[in-house]
Chain A
Amino acid sequence: MIPLFLGASIAHKEGSEDDLISTNLVALSLFQIVGEGRMLSLSNIEVVYSDVILVLKGVTLEVPDGKIVALLGANGAGKTTTLKAISCLLKTELGKITEGSIVFDGQRIDQKNPEEIVKYGIVQVMEGRPSFENLTVEENLIVGASSRKNTTGIKRDLEMVYNYFPVLRGMRQRVSGYLSGGERQMLVMSRGLMARPKLMLLDEPSLGLSPILVEDIFKIIKRLNKKEGTFFLLVEQNAMMALSISDHAYVIENGRIVMDGPAAELIENEDIKEFYLGLSKIGKRKSYRDVKHYKRRKRWVG
């Protein structure tokens, strides 16, 4: 807004109507470039595992600055693979990006090493919330900060993380292998935060947690987004929850993005309701024909 306003005021002094419009346009496009600098965009990504299995068939998506974006899809649709393509963890499991590009902050980040990606400010919180089981909670968190050169901010960040996840404060000396599922989810998210990421990739944070805990976790995600300005790419099975906190959502099936739109719109979409939220029109029998209809539609959309 500020460049726009400035442009307008300068133009006003010169007093010409034409000038006003053109400066406004210049200001607007400048603003867009600045805004675009810090976004993640995947264009036409193709991923192949062990040289033969084509998992992603041209995925294009964007995570704009400061937003929460959800990625929905059935099992095996390629959600996790998309995240791994971004964080470059694909390399460790014989996966390869064969086509397309991933740009973050104006730089291409495909074909890097996973630890470099962390330095760029992208952290993936993996599915199944793996922790370093023989290390204590606090040691886990400090390992999370290992991409950083200077060590001065670590104490302060530990404090910050404990404020977001107060449960962890009481168990900092506990060996992390013995934490419960919810505690562990908080631990792995805080470990991600210790790297001071600009973008966090969350893989199924709600997996196997009780509804209350899920709500807590999602509240914290929302708060992090507001206060720390971290933006999120969220992979979820719990579509309702994910759509309720995210700004934009993509639906991926069979390695293709088949639908996307603002979360508020998708939540009203009939197909999404039917197949991801499990809601159908009351009284109407679910029949296989509807599924077929949906599949046909998808072929058109995809």
Chain B
Amino acid sequence: MTDFLQFSVIGLLTGGLYSLIGVTIVIVFKASKVVSIAHGQLLAFGALFFWIFMVGLGYPLWLSFLLTLILASLMGFFIERFTMRPLIGQPLFSSFLMTFALFIFLDGAFQLYLAGQTRAYPHFLPQGQWDFGGVIVPKGQVVNFLISFFLFLILALSFKHTRVGLKMRATAEDHRLAQSAGVSVRNIFTYVWIISAILASISGIAMATVTDIHYPLPYFGIKGLIVALFGGMESIGGALLAGLILGLLENISAGYLDPILGGGIKDVAAYVMLLLILLIKPYGLFGLARIERL
């Protein structure tokens, strides 16, 4: 029982981060109907920028964080302006392929910079752990979880209650109609990419405090894609739930099966889950229900 609780707690805490990565993909898809697979790279670069500022250049925590956010939003802006915008009006598949090109390009750049080495991440989160009768809860991961939960809350509320959020939801429903109502759909795309790049870089920093910077970091983006698919591609709440489920599933299956099968179950579990989702529920848990009066 203690084992199960232990796996579940760690699973939930990691799942919170997966949700955040997932939601970055969800909001881009929601607004522009483009499935981005380059978000893992945005995440990795966010983590890397922060490392460069804080460790490489020795800036204080708040400044490095601020600069990372600025760089991330610039990245989002330039990606939208120079790779996505020229493809508006083309089939969505070309935009998807463009994100694949970005994936390869950024991945290459990331590997080139790392040169196969691991960068130890600075320990700015509270260290140590709480022990609840044998169940160990690391403080740093709790902070990560709370941060991503908080960002989720802000995102959901601003979608619901601000004018820009309303315009984004309108754009998500129908581009042409939104344009005819006076919404500048192109601007909305830019905002969405900037927001999602910022969120991705924050989740990257949070991820790196757990795993350090090493080459597989960008591949958390694939987990984000699984989360987005499972949640229904268009649902922010769905991404939250799906991330938590993925985290739980991964850690519980890895916890029980790794000792028997000799490791590696964690990643397999994620892909098995992806396969099952696509087979059983291709629209995910909360795919946007089209309202149709019959």
Give B171 Cβ to nearest chain A Cβ, in Å. Answer: 9
Known contacts A132-B169, A134-B291, A143-B166, A89 near B176 by CB under 8 Å: yes
Is residue B181 contacting chain A, with contact meaning CB distance below 8 A? yes
Interface 0/1 of B252-294, CB less than 8 Å to A? 0000000000000000000000000000000000001011110
Q: Is A130 a contact partner of B175 (Cβ separation < 8 A)?
A: no
Question: Could you say which residues of chain B place their CB within 8 Å of the CB of A118?
Answer: 180-182
Q: Is B174 an interface residue, CB under 8 A from the partner?
A: yes
Q: Which of B181, B290, B291 contacts A144 (CB under 8 A)?
A: B181
Whole-angstrom CA separation of A119 from B292 in the bound complex? 32
Q: Flag if A134 contacts B169 (CB, 8 Å).
A: yes
Whether B167 contacts A132 by the Cβ 8 Å rule is no
- On whether the beta carbons of B169 and A146 are closer than 8 Å, the reply is no
Q: Is the CB of B182 within 8 A of A119?
A: yes
Say if the beta carbon of B173 comes within 8 Å of chain A. yes
A151: interface (CB < 8 Å): yes
Asked if A195 is at the interface (CB within 8 A of a chain B CB), the reply is: yes
In the complex, residue of chain B having the shortest beta-carbon distance to the beta carbon of A147 = B182
Q: Which residues of A contact B169 (CB under 8 A)?
A: 132, 134-135, 139
Could you say which residues of chain B place their CB within 8 Å of the CB of A89?
176, 179-180
**B184 within 8 Å of A (CB atoms):** yes
Residue of A nearest to B172 (CB): A134
The residues of B that contact A131 with a CB separation of less than 8 Å are 177
| A87 CB–B CB distance under 8 Å | yes
Q: Is the CB of A142 within 8 A of B176?
A: no
Q: Does B106 contact A (CB under 8 A)?
A: no
Question: CB within 8 Å of A: which of B171-219?
Answer: 173-185
- Choose one: A135, A175, A177, A178; the contact of B170 (CB below 8 Å): A135
Q: Would you give the 0/1 interface string for B88-102, flagging 1 where the beta carbon is closer than 8 Å to chain A?
A: 010000000000000
CB contact under 8 A between A175 and B166, given known A89-B180, A130-B174:
no
Nearest Cβ on chain B to A82's Cβ, whole angstroms: 15
B173 and A142: CB pair below 8 A? no
Bound Cα distance from A134 to B170, whole angstroms = 9
A72 at the interface (CB under 8 A from B): no
Number of interface residues of A (CB under 8 A): 32
B interface residues, tally (CB under 8 Å): 24
* A195 interface neighbour in B167, B176, B182, B290, Cβ under 8 Å: B182
User: Which residues of A from 141 to 185 have beta carbons under 8 Å from B?
Assistant: 142-148, 151, 175, 177-178
Q: Determine whether the beta carbon of A135 is less than 8 Å from that of B288.
A: no
User: Is A191's CB within 8 Å of the partner chain B?
Assistant: yes
A113 touches B179 (CB 8 A): yes
Q: Of B173, B182, B292, B293, which is within 8 A of A115 by CB?
A: B182
Question: In the complex, what distance in Å separates the CA atom of A126 from the CA atom of B163?
Answer: 23
B70 smallest CB distance to A (angstroms): 26
A177 vs B163: C-alpha distance in the bound complex, in angstroms?
A: 20
Kindly state whether residue A92 has any CB partner on chain B within 8 Å.
Answer: yes
Which residues of B are found within 8 Å of A130, using beta-carbon distances? 174, 177
Alpha-carbon separation in the docked complex, A299 to B178 (Å): 40
A175 touches B179 (CB 8 A): no
What is the CA–CA distance of A131 and B174 in the complex, to the nearest angstrom?
A: 9
A139 to B291, CA, bound (A): 16
Contacts of A151 in B (CB 8 A): 163
> Is A255 part of the contact surface with B, judged by Cβ < 8 Å?
no
Please provide the chain A residues from 71 to 89 with a CB less than 8 Å away from any CB of chain B in the complex: 87, 89
Assembled-state Cα–Cα distance A177/B290 (Å): 9
Contact A114 B291 (CB under 8 A): no
Distance of A177 Cα from B179 Cα, bound (Å): 19
- Nearest residue (CB) in B for A93 is B176
A146 lies within 8 A of B163 (CB) = yes
Residues of A within 8 A of B182 (CB): 115, 118-119, 123, 144-148, 195
30 A-B residue pairs with CB within 8 Å: A87-B180, A89-B176, A89-B180, A92-B89, A92-B175, A113-B179, A114-B176, A115-B184, A118-B180, A118-B181, A123-B180, A123-B182, A126-B180, A132-B173, A133-B173, A134-B173, A135-B166, A135-B170, A135-B173, A142-B166, A143-B170, A145-B182, A146-B166, A146-B167, A146-B183, A147-B181, A147-B182, A177-B291, A177-B293, A195-B181
**Residues of chain B at the chain A interface (Cβ within 8 Å):** 89, 163, 166-167, 169-170, 173-185, 288, 290-293
Excluding A114-B180, A134-B173, A144-B182, 5 further A-B contacts by CB distance (< 8 Å) are: A132-B174, A134-B288, A143-B183, A147-B183, A177-B293
